[in-house]
Amino acid sequence: MVNRRTFLAGLGAGLAVGPGLLPARRAAAKKRGGTLTVGMPNDWNTFDPHNLSFANFTLQQNLYDTLIRYDQSLKPLPGLAERWAVAPDGQSVTLTLRKGVKFHSGKDLTAADVVKTFEKAADKDRGSNMLPAVANVAGVTAPDAGTVVIQFKKVSPEITDLLHAMAIIEPSAMDSLKNRGSGTGPFKFVEWVPGDHTTLERNAAYWGAPAPWVDRVVFKVFSDSDAMVAALQSGICDLVVSLPPKDVSRLSKEFNLVRGHPGALTYELRVNGTKPPFDKKEARQALLYAIDRKGVVETVLFGVSQPTVLPFSRASAAYDASTLAKYPFDLKKAKELLDRAGVKGGKAECLALPQFPELPAIGQILKADLAKIGFDIELVILDSTQYYKRVLGGDFQLATSFSGNTQKYPTRVALNSIYRTANNPVWGNNVPKAYVDAINEANGTIDPAKQKAAFARLDAAILDEAWVVSIAYRQSVFGLARHVQDFAFTVDDMAVLEHVSLEK
Amino acid sequence: MARYAFVRLVHLLPVLFLTSVAVWLLIYLIPGDPALALLGPDVTPEQLQRARARMGLDQPWPMQYALWLGRVLEGDLGVSYLNGLPVRTMLAQRIPVTLQLTVASLVVALLIAAPLGILSAVRPTSWIGRVATGYNALAMAVPTFWLGILLVLLFGLYLRWLPTSGYVPLWEDPARALRFLVLPAVTLGAYVSAVLARFTRAALLESLGQDYVRTARAKGVGEPGVVGVHALKNALIPVVTVLGLQFGAFMGGAVITEAIFDYPGLGRMLLQAILTRDYTVVQGTILFVVAAFVVINLLTDLAYAYLDPRIRYS
């Protein structure tokens, strides 16, 4: 049976495939114009689409375009590249760019602009989070204005992930991305008042015409999520992103609530395998059994999630459904493992970020459960700069956190700092060999059978070394006033606003 | 009086200098790094190091402070580490917003406090005196955040009379701006109204017991004239003092009220800058707040002379 929630999620999936795919009849009936006000719990920290912080996603999706898009089942679809052909050896790809695409300044998009974006991504100072993603790129050339050829250093099984992540930036705007941006996306930059609001306006020359439908989008930042919810309820906002799970049930009758892609991010407990008592593998493995994942989903995430033992989303090729049964919540087993590690009356500090109230709450549940087997957790709540300084510097025992890129080619998980194969905040350059080997194996083949075997070894290495204990998926919920129609989201939970109309 | 004002303004310079040193020291004592806030949780150690060098954060703090001070002396408050916008521009965006809320809150406070304070002083044992005492106790005891949430629930979500959050400049659309101002101004003004009402009542009661009031009454001046013309003006000095202090405090930002009503004032900007260790924005904002506080206190002192001609400045 299809209920409204399933229907809305399906609608999101349908619309995420790209512009111009709305049935003509519906497009003719849609209203044009108006200002869409979107409430957000965080402001962006940059207009650079290569900074892949979760907070920047909504902006990036609506200001820029990527070379290709994904539908909700991660099937690649045309974006700025109309066609792409991967060489049989998997070491290069040739892209044919869409014709008639213009940057917000009015300049035509050419292959040379795509090359410049790749050069920026590969630049040590400007590459941001795309720098490791292009590490395997040997060169990018533009044989003509509409063709781009990307050459890889070695076989690349994650070509579509790279094309999907690569947002193309107008070259003349690359030096001012700290506080403004320009791409080819459905909306153009107008104004940013940091900490308060950002205004975008309709890009009339958008290649996906007749979208976008609204004239302006105002993103309002709320430092308090309750104030954001009140703004939705009182009609100040038409749409809010990252609705707190606690409000989902209460608001479900009055608003259309759309659940995002399950598994865009995964909540986890980061465990420092170089600091006692977790320098003993058994002590880390004990945590796999000591976390009440169902309890977290029910009490912290209010049912808006599913538990997981692996970082990978359920759509990922590396997801293994049997792991949930293998690692149940079992304090007796956890105690046995702690005993085997020689931990008696253990004690550890667990760091958490207050901006995401789920993280301290997960820490509280862990603390209460471990106390039952005589292990004491001290929960330490830190602001983001202190938290990241300690977590990235390996100055912690336990930390609640989350990882992204868990729904794409499985080795992309290594883009998260805690899963790095080198310069890892926990292991430095001594990352467990079985894990590094599995990543390298999966990255070195385009043979599906070999990939499958490598993914199995990857899962086994992550669970055996247990320096990251996955808990549950973070599923975004978008709250929409009834008059907001045709909202969609991407597999990264980026809000797609180009099709949105205000049917007031 | 002009000389007095000039000397007080000159004294502002060392105050600002010492404040800037103290703020710079304090913010460096808090662990954290603006480069991390900018680059996010998955930055590599090399990227972090390069960004810190680009931002000048690899220099010792006295050197960073000296560079910042040098720019300030040239009239440049610097740019935000995080968004690259000039601090001057960011302040210019926020100051009118905070000023609007401050003035509105004090107007609300005065509208409540003046009648309540005067009536409860003139009729201290009547029902209005008891109501005023009860109101004062309640308004001072109720936490601001709680009152704000109650007002949002009642007027924003239940009755749907007023918007729950946001800001509209008064000069753009006065009617709409007032609708957006009512709830935060009442939230912020309630506590001050109780303080002002108590000061007004106490000062007026004292004035009403003075000889010159008895003389005025003996001369046949009516009660409104006795209270309004003779007693109240002399009772205003402590009231003006409180008003001036509150004005200065509100210019520093009412962080909680601004968060509840999503009001984009100086307080929210300062809090965000502290959380992200955006040193230049913290410094620029605090220097403005200190300067505003000193200037408002000076204006308050100068107002004493108007209220009581016996007061002379030299």
For residue range A134-176, what is the model confidence (pLDDT) as tens digits?
999 999 999 999 999 999 999 988 899 999 999 999 999 999 9
Using one digit for the tens of pLDDT, what is the confidence trace for A437-485? 999 999 999 999 999 999 999 999 999 999 999 999 998 899 999 999 9
Judged by a CB distance cut-off of 8 A, whether residue A124 touches chain B is yes
For chain A, helix, strand, coil in percent to 5 are 35, 25, 45
Who among A233, A389, A423 is closest to B36 (CB)?
Answer: A389
B37, B42, B83 member nearest A385 (Cβ) = B37
Across the interface, whether the CB atoms of A385 and B54 are under 8 A apart is answered no
**Average pLDDT for chain A:** 90
Whether residues A230 and B82 touch (CB distance < 8 A) is answered with no
Q: Does A416 touch chain B (CB under 8 A)?
A: yes
Cross-chain Cβ contact B264/A197 below 8 Å: yes
User: Which residue in B50, B259, B271 is closest to A227 by CB distance?
Assistant: B259
Contact between B197 and B112 (Cβ < 8 Å): yes
Q: Does B104 touch chain A (CB under 8 A)?
A: no
pLDDT per residue as tens digits for the range A43-77: 888 899 998 887 888 999 999 999 999 998 889 99
Looking at residue B41, its pLDDT comes to: 76
Contact check, Cβ <8 Å, A224/B85: no
Smallest Cα distance from B41 to chain A, Å: 6
Give B-chain residues touching A134 at CB under 8 angstroms. none
Predicted local confidence at residue A26, as pLDDT: 64
Element (H, E) at B104: helix B87-122
Q: What is the DSSP string of B244-266?
A: HHHHHHHHT--HHHHHHTT--SH
Interchain contact, A53 vs B260, CB within 8 Å: no
- Indicate yes or no: CB of A194 within 8 angstroms of CB of B277: no
Contact B194, B135 (CB under 8 A): yes
For position A128, what pLDDT does the model report? 85
Per-residue pLDDT of B76-123, as tens digits, reads 888 898 888 999 999 999 999 999 999 999 999 999 999 999 988 888
The distance of B295 to chain A (nearest Cα, Å) reads: 28
Let me know how long chain A is.
Answer: 504
Answer whether A52 sits within 8 Å of B160, measured CB to CB: no
Q: Mean pLDDT throughout B154-181?
A: 91
Contacting B residues, span 204-233, partner chain A, CB-CB under 8 Å: none
The confidence score (pLDDT) of residue B312 equals: 67
Please tell me the total number of residues recorded for chain B in this structure.
314
**Residue B313: pLDDT band with limits 50, 70, 90:** low
What number is the average pLDDT over the span B167-186? 93
Q: What is the mean pLDDT of chain B?
A: 87
- Write down the pLDDT at residue B228: 79
DSSP output for B48-95: HHHHHHHHTTTS-HHHHHHHHHHHHHTT---B-TTT--BHHHHHHHHH
Query: CB contacts < 8 Å between A and B, how many?
Result: 145
CB neighbours (10 Å) of residue A145? 14
B278, closest residue in chain A (CA to CA): A385
Four-point Cα dihedral A260, B268, A214, A248, nearest 10: 30
For chain A positions 351-390, those within 8 Å of chain B (CB to CB) are: 383-386, 388-389
Instruction: Say whether B157 and A234 touch across the interface (CB within 8 A).
Output: yes
Give the mutation candidate from A234, A267, A382, A417 for the B interface (greatest B CB count, under 10 A): A234
Given this model, what pLDDT does residue B197 score? Answer: 92
Q: Which residue of A has its CA nearest to B281?
A: A194
Decide: helix, strand or coil at residue B231.
helix
With CB atoms and an 8 Å threshold, state whether A236 touches B160.
no
Query: If pLDDT is split at 50, 70 and 90, which confidence band does B253 have?
Result: low
Strands of A176-223 (E only): list them.
187-193, 197-202, 216-221
Indicate the SS3 state at residue B127.
helix
Rounded CA separation B255/B264 (Å)? 10
> Using an 8 Å Cβ cutoff, are A392 and A382 in contact?
no
Say if A406 is an interface residue toward chain B (CB within 8 Å).
no
The single-letter code of the amino acid at B311 is I
12-51 in chain B: CB under 8 A from chain A: 30-34, 36-48, 50-51
Chain A, window 221-240: residues with a beta carbon less than 8 angstroms from a chain B beta carbon: 221-224, 226-228, 230-231, 233-236
Q: How far apart are CA B245 and CA B174, in angstroms?
A: 27
The residue in chain B having the minimum alpha-carbon distance to the alpha carbon of residue A127 is: B47
Preferred mutation among B82, B97, B262, B269 to probe A, highest tally of A CBs within 10 A? B262
Q: What are phi and psi of A432, to 5 degrees?
A: -50, 130
DSSP tag of A108: B
Percent of chain A with pLDDT over 70: 94
User: What ipTM was predicted for this assembly?
Assistant: 0.78
Q: Which of A132, A196, A223 sits opposite B259 (nearest CB)?
A: A223
Q: Identify whether the C-beta of residue A185 lies closer than 8 Å to the C-beta of residue A65.
A: yes
Q: What burial class does residue A502 get, using C-beta atoms within 10 Å of its C-beta: 0-12 exposed, 13-18 middle, 19+ buried?
A: buried
pTM confidence score: 0.85
